[in-house]
C-alpha cells in the first residue's frame, strides 16, 4: 500500500494530529522555522534564514502522551527521527511516519530477542514490505515487555 505523500512538515504534523485523535493521545508541537532555527541545515549558509533555493525550512518536534512514550522530530529534508520508549529510529521517511505510528499504537510493533547477534530489537512493520528494526539499548519499559514475542 502506498503512503500518502506528505510534502511539508505542516502536512506531516496534521497527519500525526489525526492519529493522536484516533488513538486518544494528547500532542504537543514545537516548531522551528528558518535555516537559523532548524537543527541540521546543510543547504544554508551560516546565519542564513532561507535555504540557498530561497525556501524557508520548517522542522517540528512532536510529543505524544501515554504509553509507549513517543516523540517525532520532522526534519526539512523529508525525513524524521521517531523515538519509542527510548528506542531511536533515525532517517524514517516523512511519508512513513503515519503508518509507523499506526503500527505502534495498533499493537503491530513488537520486541524480538535474538541469540545472534545477541540483543533485543523493536520491530515496527508497515503495510507492504517495509519494516523498521532497532536494537534496544535501554531497560525494557512495561510497554516494551508487553510487546515481547517469542
Average pLDDT over residues 26-54: 60
75-115 pLDDT, tens per residue? 888 899 999 999 999 999 999 999 999 999 999 999 998 77
59-80 pLDDT, tens per residue? 889 999 999 999 999 988 889 9
**Is a pLDDT exceeding 80 seen at residue 49?**
no
Confidence of residue 34 (pLDDT cuts 50, 70, 90): low
Q: In this prediction, what percent of the chain has a pLDDT beyond 90? A: 62
Whole-angstrom distance, CA of residue 39 vs CA of residue 36: 8
Contact status, residue 64 vs residue 25, Cβ threshold 8 Å? yes
Burial class (CB in 10 A: 0-12, 13-18, 19+), 7: exposed
Q: For residues 22, 104, 142 and 148, what is the CA-based torsion angle, rounded to 10 degrees?
A: 140
Higher pLDDT, 127 or 39: 127
Helix (H, G, I), strand (E, B) or coil at 32: strand
Rg (CA), the chain: 16
Q: Where are the domains of the chain?
A: 9-107
Which residues have CB under 8 Å from 7's CB, separation 6+? none
- pLDDT for 3: 55
**Is a pLDDT exceeding 50 seen at residue 1?**
no
Amino acid at each position: 500500500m502506498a503512503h500518502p505523500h506528505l510534502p511539508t512538515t505542516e502536512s506531516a504534523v496534521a497527519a500525526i494530529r489525526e492519529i493522536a485523535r484516533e488513538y486518544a493521545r494528547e500532542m504537543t508541537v514545537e516548531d522551528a522555522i528558518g535555516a537559523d532555527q532548524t537543527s541540521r541545515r546543510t543547504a544554508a549558509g551560516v546565519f542564513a534564514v532561507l535555504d540557498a533555493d530561497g525556501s524557508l525550512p520548517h522542522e517540528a518536534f512532536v510529543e505524544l502522551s501515554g504509553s509507549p512514550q513517543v516523540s517525532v522530530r520532522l526534519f526539512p529534508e523529508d525525513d524524521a527521527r521517531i523515538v519509542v520508549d527510548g528506542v531511536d529510529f533515525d532517517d524514517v521517511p516523512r511519508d512513513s511516519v503515519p503508518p509507523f505510528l499506526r503500527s505502534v499504537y495498533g499493537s503491530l510493533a513488537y520486541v524480538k530477542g535474538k541469540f545472534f547477534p545477541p540483543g533485543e530489537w523493536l520491530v515496527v512493520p508497515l503495510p507492504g514490505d517495509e519494516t523498521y528494526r532497532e536494537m534496544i539499548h535501554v531497560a525494557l519499559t512495561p510497554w516494551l515487555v508487553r510487546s515481547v514475542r517469542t
